[in-house]
């Protein structure tokens, strides 16, 4: 019967699992009271509740454990063992003399008890341990950058839905204003018709106008509900809980500096950093593969006690020790090492090509974001003035209609024109916000706007 206990110094990894409940930064009232959210609140809640982020956080912890395991390869392995063997007979090696070593410890006893401690250390293994540790450290950076990329994606998606809800609110307001204006105008025309001041054609024309606008209002209200539901889903908020967004559909202009944006993207975009890390990992993979060409040097030591009496075991008469070293050199491995080196070098070259592809795509993404921002800002500036003009045109048409100068069609056309201009302005503002968000995502910049 043999009992063995293995102890690895400096390489023991204690995994302590603690379950910490994830709590939203914005407390949700229980009685279905309104939950108010700023954009920052929404992004923080999305961070806490997103499964992909939680999975990636665990990947970071795994990478940290891999570094500890790689460091453990440089440390000695210490084994403590104890055993008992009963032998039918053993070789007798001479008379036992008091004060000297018990010679039977070298040949054994019929009732043989052993207690020993063994130390093994890898002195040199061709640099494989060094390469493995370097790859493990780079692996941690890879997982950290991947986590940052996940968070940037979640932030972008939260912005898209958050401002999408605000855009839907604005579209609903515009549609509702159009319907209300059309109804007020219809009532005015009906009163005139009842007094014989206008024709039935104008009355029907005004009535049809109200009917034409109702579907747009219904659609706008449905869009509010749908996009709000999508935002709640992203935040893992119960769909029955009403929410109110504290933000506004407002844009802050950014000076377009394409070269500076591109330079920041090359330095800070997670995907760019991941490609550079991939090149370094591939480089160390070549060194790891080359280790097969070098000798393996190992050292070992053993200290033991052996006796037929457990109670009288630990004393100088029953101890023994030995130390040694081994050197192993591979003469032929069927070209396995050569194949591994070729594979590692091919992956190294591939990682460079992948980086170049990411560089080119990043440049395209930056240019696209800048063009979209310029386009949206042009629309915003033009429509801001047009809103003022459209309101004035509607006022003039209404006054003119009251005085018999303009026609009913002029009023209806002015109402629709105002709604269109306001819609273009709201959509242009949303497009600018999202183009800016896409720019920041491409640059790897975290930015939360109220």
pLDDT digits (tens, 9 = 90+) for 348-386: 999 999 999 999 999 999 999 999 999 999 999 999 889
Lowest mean pLDDT among 100-109, 134-143, 234-243, 295-304: 100-109
Domain borders along the chain are: 43-75+125-295+334-443
Tell me, what's the pLDDT at 272? Answer: 96
pTM value?
Answer: 0.83
Tell me, what's the pLDDT at 448? Answer: 63
CATH of 43-75+125-295+334-443, one of 3.30.750.24, 1.20.1600.10, 3.40.50.920, 3.90.1010.10: 1.20.1600.10
Tell me, what's the pLDDT at 88? Answer: 82
User: Does the pLDDT of residue 93 top 80, yes or no?
Assistant: no
Kindly report, residue by residue over 235-272, the tens digit of the pLDDT.
999 998 999 998 889 889 999 999 999 999 999 999 99
User: Does the pLDDT of residue 29 top 90, yes or no?
Assistant: no
pLDDT over 70 for what percent of the chain?
A: 90
Lowest mean pLDDT among 23-27, 96-100, 184-188, 300-304: 23-27
Tell me, what's the pLDDT at 286? Answer: 94
Tell me, what's the pLDDT at 102? Answer: 77
Q: Taking residues 69-94, what's their average pLDDT?
A: 87
User: Does the pLDDT of residue 162 top 90, yes or no?
Assistant: yes
Given pLDDT bands bounded at 50, 70 and 90, which one contains residue 179? very high
Task: Please give the Cα distance from 277 to 143 (Å, whole number).
Answer: 11
Between 440 and 314, the higher pLDDT residue: 440
* Average pLDDT, rounded, for the chain: 88
Kindly report, residue by residue over 109-150, the tens digit of the pLDDT.
888 999 999 999 999 999 999 999 999 999 999 999 999 999
Given pLDDT bands bounded at 50, 70 and 90, which one contains residue 32? low
User: Does the pLDDT of residue 103 top 60, yes or no?
Assistant: yes
């Amino acid at each position: 019967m043999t009992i063995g206990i293995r102890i690895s110094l400096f390489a023991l990894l204690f995994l302590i699992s603690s379950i910490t409940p994830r709590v939203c930064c914005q407390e949700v009232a229980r009685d279905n009271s309104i939950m108010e959210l700023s954009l920052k609140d929404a992004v923080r809640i999305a961070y806490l509740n997103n499964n992909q982020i939680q999975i990636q956080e665990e990947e970071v912890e795994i990478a940290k454990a891999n570094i500890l395991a790689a460091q453990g390869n440089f440390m000695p392995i210490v084994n403590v063992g104890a055993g008992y063997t009963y032998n039918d007979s053993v070789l007798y090696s001479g008379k036992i003399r008091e004060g000297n070593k018990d010679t039977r410890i070298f040949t054994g006893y019929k009732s043989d008890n052993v207690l020993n401690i063994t130390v093994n250390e890898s002195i040199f293994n061709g640099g494989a341990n060094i390469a493995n540790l370097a790859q493990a450290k780079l692996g941690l950076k890879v997982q950290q950058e991947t986590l940052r990329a996940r968070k940037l994606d979640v932030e972008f998606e939260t912005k898209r839905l958050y401002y999408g809800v605000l855009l839907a609110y604005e579209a609903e307001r515009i549609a509702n204003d159009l319907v209300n204006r059309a109804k007020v105008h219809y009532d005015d025309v009906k009163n005139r018709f009842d007094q014989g001041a206008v024709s039935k054609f104008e009355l029907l024309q005004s009535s049809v106008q109200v009917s034409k606008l109702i579907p747009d209002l219904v659609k706008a209200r449905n869009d509010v509900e749908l996009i709000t539901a999508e935002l709640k889903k992203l935040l893992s908020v119960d769909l029955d809980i009403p929410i109110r967004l504290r933000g506004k559909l407002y844009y802050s202009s950014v000076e377009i500096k394409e070269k500076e944006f591109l330079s920041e993207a090359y330095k800070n975009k997670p995907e760019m950093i991941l490609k550079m890390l991939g090149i370094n990992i591939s480089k160390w993979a070549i060194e790891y593969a080359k280790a097969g060409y070098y000798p393996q040097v190992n050292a070992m030591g053993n200290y033991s006690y052996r006796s037929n009496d457990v109670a009288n075991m630990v004393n100088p008469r029953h101890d023994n020790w030995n130390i040694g070293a081994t050197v192993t050199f591979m003469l032929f491995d069927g070209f396995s090492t050569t194949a591994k080196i070729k594979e590692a070098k091919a992956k190294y070259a591939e990682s460079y090509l992948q980086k170049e592809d990411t560089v080119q795509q990043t440049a395209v993404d930056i240019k696209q974001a800048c063009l979209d921002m310029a386009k949206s800002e042009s629309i915003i500036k033009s429509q801001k003035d047009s809103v003022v003009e459209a309101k004035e045109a509607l006022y003039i048409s209404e006054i003119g209609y009251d005085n018999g100068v303009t026609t009913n069609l002029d009023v209806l056309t002015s109402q629709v024109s105002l709604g269109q201009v306001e819609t273009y302005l709201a959509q242009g503002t949303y497009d600018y916000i999202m183009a800016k968000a896409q720019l920041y995502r491409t640059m790897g910049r975290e930015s939360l706007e109220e």
